[in-house]
Structure 1
Amino acid sequence: MSKEMTMELSLKMEENSSQIKMVNSESIPITGVTKGVELRLGEWTGKAAIKVIPLNDYDFV
């Protein structure tokens, strides 16, 4: 999730020192983590921790 989307949804972000490696790119540090975010996929609902990372073209991947 982008930092901008995190702020737009008023989600609390915790700092985190992890890194993420995407296909065909270098590892980059993540911006933070949002914990306890409620998600719904079809009939399923649950809570998840979502990494906040720099995204150029998307708000959520």
Structure 2
Amino acid sequence: MIIPDIDAFEERAAIAEHDGGLSRLEAENLAARVQGFESAEAYWQWLADYVVNRNVP
């Protein structure tokens, strides 16, 4: 089971965007893949499902 680390995601995405010159979407996709998600979309969907259902998918 993958449980996202929001702080690590945000930090990695910010560094990749600022220092790496990636777009925000590219940086978020990279940060999501590092945590085992296919994309930033999959990462955010996991979090949305968690908030709505109040349990780990």
Q: Place the TM-score, normalised by the shorter chain, in its bin.
A: under 0.3
Higher relative strand content: 1
Q: Which has the larger radius of gyration?
A: 1
Q: TM-score scaled to structure 1, two decimals?
A: 0.23
Higher relative helix content: 2
Bigger RCO (CA 8 Å, 6+ sep): 1
